[in-house]
Amino acid sequence: MKDALKVTRKEIREILRDKRVRNAAFVAPMFVIFLMMMLFGFLGETIGKHENQRIHVVGGDNSLIKLLKASKYNIVPIASVDEGTKLIKDGKASLVLEFTPDYDNLVTSHKQVHIKAFYDEKESKAQIAFASVQKELVEMNKVAVAATLKSKGVDAAFAEPVVLDRNPIKIGESNVSDILITILPYMITVYAFFGGLSTGSELVAGEKEKNTLETLLIAPIRRRDIALGKFFALCIVCLAGSMSALLGVIIAGTSGLPIFHTVFPHGLGLGPEHILAIILTLIPTVAFFASLLLAVSTMAKNTREASQFLALVNLVVLTPAIFSQFLGFTDFASQRWISFVPVLNTSVTLRQALQGKIDYLGMFITIGVSAVLATIAIQIAIHLFHQEKVLVRV
Amino acid sequence: MVRTESLVKHFADPKQGLVKAVDGVSIEASPGQIFGLLGANGAGKTTMLRMLSTVLQPTSGKAWVAGFDVEKDPQKVRAAIGFMSSSTALYGRLNPKELLEYFGGLYGLEGAKLKERVAYVIERLQIGEFVDRYCDKLSTGQKQRVSIARTMIHDPEVMFFDEPTAGLDVVMSQSVMEFIEEARDVGKTVIFSTHIMSEVERLCDHIAVIHEGVIREEGTVGDLLAVTNEKNLEQAFLKLVEYHRTNPAEAAK
């Protein structure tokens, strides 16, 4: 083990001097996550603001338009629906509302009024504007119905005979926002793999290519120690990748900047117990990724071949990681078999940790599965290191 | 000492079938002697040295290096040898001092002994002026000096040189050859693989001509000239490997 650590120290020293790896594993994840949080924050802020919703109206001024203006919507009068349709097609308008000229008369005489809304259904911005106006109308209708009923001496409650009361149950102590719960497990898991990708292919395949492996193999240390030394170094890089992503979240969440208010409505929301659970789950996952990368790199003739092999391995890691983002829409997250699916189980455990409701059995199964896979992959790498093929593949 | 008995190495090549890289080689090199392995490219020299340095396992036959069996005691063999080749490279993002400390550590040197030995080889090979520069930034000559330093960091009993001057200019080749001579003079067993006749003539006390994995002849330069009845080593070598000048007219037919 002493010899393995000598190899690890040397590898880490070289890795830290490689600008490409420093950026990919240490800086990029933190930076990307921070920017992503900023983007989500910006979108959350702007989407919710009426000032940013421009609504084109046809049919003169009326009480509803006045109400929308009072609610700070950006109202733009236009001459006709044709003009509005053209503006929508040109991408210059999101929502066009056509009012009948006698809108106010019909409303005051308690007649039903139809407002025609024109928008591109595929445009998110248009959908948001439509939903926003619809919400205003629901509120307005509610007030109008209540007033009418009151004038007739009827209790306003008759307008809504059945009401659904929201009673959310808080499970765990987590205050982490939904958006983080959805994307963070994916990002942390993926960065654990991608952070070590270039280092992985360099560690053995790169040594073969640069003709440094032979001098190492001739040194009187066991091949097992060489493989383990490189494995430990790779574990550190992979762990750094995911920890860097986590650090990006922590910096954004604790910065107190207004732009992060939507994403972190209650501050960071991550307690030390969440972070501990994340790290505990990640360590064996990282070991699995590192051993997988090392085995592939040992098998490959050169870095080019290693990259080709790793392109396939990417799929094995990415597919379950992507699927993990949609778990919230299914019942899978609570099913036991998920704990046995590599990568996906890690994402699920991280998700639960962020929600503050850790399934300890699931977490232990996840750690166990990752540890078993890591052991198998590192044994394969050690076995490959004992083969002549590690140096000469005919 | 280095000794082999009927050493064989075969590779299974998907395209060429069975490749007999080394086919029944028996040699013996003694301390204080430079043993030359003379052969053309692909003759089996590198495979032979790789078996002796335990990187490759013999298909059959036996080999002993510094008294240790290459198959039974590979780690002891590796601890006793220094290996230098023109093709082996240095770690680009380590400086010479770090590289020497790393390899010294792998060869079991520690603490004051490691520091002392690193300081010695740095001094001995005049590496001091560029000792803090990354190996990637060194000139070919400087890299070669660091390579030699790496080879001798643990003061090995046996040294293997696999075409150590390939790609070097005259001045650099000269310093490498001087180093090899010094190794012999201090009593090390040196195996020197090359295809350059002038180097063999200058350095080798005993030569084995290897061709297609088989030793065609061995002895001193004088012995080879006498056996082949040629006046120079180059002609003797060509005769031993049964080289025939290609007749362009016949080749065209």
Tens of pLDDT, residues A199-244: 888 888 888 888 898 889 999 999 999 999 999 999 999 998 888 8
**Looking at the partner chain, which of A3, A211, A212 has a beta carbon nearest the beta carbon of B106?**
A3
Q: Does A128 have pLDDT greater than 90?
A: no
* Closest chain A residue to B58, measured at CA: A388
Residue A74's nearest CA partner among A98, A93, A102, A99 is A93
* Mean pLDDT within B237-252: 70
| pLDDT in the model for residue B245 | 64
CA torsion B242-B245-B248-B252 (nearest 10°) is 0
* Closest chain A residue to B56, measured at CA: A388
| pLDDT in the model for residue A171 | 61
| Contact (CB, 8 A) for B7 and B50 | no
Lowest mean pLDDT among A223-232, B31-40, B109-118, B235-244: B235-244
Grade residue A175 by pLDDT with cuts at 50, 70 and 90. Answer: low
| pLDDT in the model for residue B246 | 62
Q: Does B248 have pLDDT greater than 70?
A: no
More confident residue, A174 or A350: A350
Give B 120-149 residues with CB within 8 A of chain A: 134
Contacts of B106 in chain A (CB under 8 A): 3, 6-7, 216, 219-221
| pLDDT in the model for residue A71 | 83
Percent of chain A exceeding pLDDT 90 equals 25
| pLDDT in the model for residue A257 | 82
Q: Does B253 have pLDDT greater than 60?
A: no
Range list of H helices, chain A: 2-16, 19-21, 28-48, 63-70, 81-89, 103-108, 124-151, 178-194, 197-201, 207-209, 213-218, 223-255, 272-299, 303-324, 344-355, 360-386
Contacts of A210 in chain B (CB under 8 A): 89, 92
More confident residue, A280 or A328: A280
**What is the torsional sign of CA A101, A103, A106, A112?**
positive
More confident residue, A263 or B249: A263
Contacts of B73 in chain A (CB under 8 A): none
Residue B103's nearest CA partner among A202, A204, A226 is A226
Give A 28-87 residues with CB within 8 A of chain B: none
Grade residue B164 by pLDDT with cuts at 50, 70 and 90. Answer: confident
* Mean pLDDT within A140-166: 84
Query: Is B92 in contact with A210 (Cβ distance < 8 A)?
Result: yes
Give the Å distances, CA to CA, from A386 to A222, A298, A372: 9, 10, 21
* Mean pLDDT within A131-154: 87
**Looking at the partner chain, which of B76, B78, B91 has a beta carbon nearest the beta carbon of A212?**
B91
| Contact (CB, 8 A) for B49 and B162 | yes
* Mean pLDDT within A115-129: 88
Q: What angle do CA A232, A235, A241 make, to 5 degrees?
A: 150
**Residue B52 contacts A where some CB pair is shorter than 8 Å:** no
Share the mean pLDDT of chain B. 89
Q: Does B33 have pLDDT greater than 90?
A: yes
A·B CB contacts under 8 A: 72
Tens of pLDDT, residues B59-70: 999 999 999 999
Structure tokens at A202: 């360099």
**Residue A1 contacts B where some CB pair is shorter than 8 Å:** no
* Closest chain A residue to B16, measured at CA: A394
* Mean pLDDT within A32-45: 84
Residue B83 has φ and ψ, to the nearest 5°, of -125, 125
| pLDDT in the model for residue B179 | 87
| pLDDT in the model for residue A174 | 58
* Closest chain A residue to B160, measured at CA: A218
Query: Is A218 in contact with B81 (Cβ distance < 8 A)?
Result: yes
Tens of pLDDT, residues A302-335: 888 988 888 888 888 888 878 877 777 777 777 8
Mutate which of B15, B91, B99, B148 to disrupt the A interface (most A C-beta within 10 Å)? B91
ipTM of the complex: 0.86
| Contact (CB, 8 A) for B187 and B31 | yes
Give the Å distances, CA to CA, from A198 to A100, A204, A242, B27: 64, 11, 15, 44
* Mean pLDDT within A287-297: 92
* Mean pLDDT within B6-12: 90
Mutate which of B106, B135, B147, B153 to disrupt the A interface (most A C-beta within 10 Å)? B106
Contacts of A394 in chain B (CB under 8 A): 11-14, 19
| pLDDT in the model for residue A172 | 59
Q: What is the C-alpha to C-alpha distance for residues A235 and A285, in angstroms, rounded to an integer?
A: 10
| pLDDT in the model for residue A366 | 92
* CA distance, residue A255 to nearest chain B CA (Å): 37
Residue tagged 């009948």 (tokens)? A100
Strand, coil or helix: A145: helix
Give A 189-218 residues with CB within 8 A of chain B: 210-212, 214-218
Q: Does A96 have pLDDT greater than 60?
A: yes
Give the Å distances, CA to CA, from A116 to A55, A56, A134, B107: 13, 12, 12, 84
**Residue A2 contacts B where some CB pair is shorter than 8 Å:** no
* CA distance, residue A6 to nearest chain B CA (Å): 7
**Looking at the partner chain, which of A18, A219, A222 has a beta carbon nearest the beta carbon of B93?**
A18
Contacts of A222 in chain B (CB under 8 A): 75
**Looking at the partner chain, which of B54, B91, B103 has a beta carbon nearest the beta carbon of A14?**
B91
Structure tokens at B140: 């070919």
| pLDDT in the model for residue A176 | 66
Q: What is the C-alpha to C-alpha distance for residues A371 and A297, in angstroms, rounded to an integer?
A: 20
The one-letter amino acid code at B195 reads H
Tens of pLDDT, residues B173-210: 888 888 899 889 999 999 999 888 889 999 999 999 99
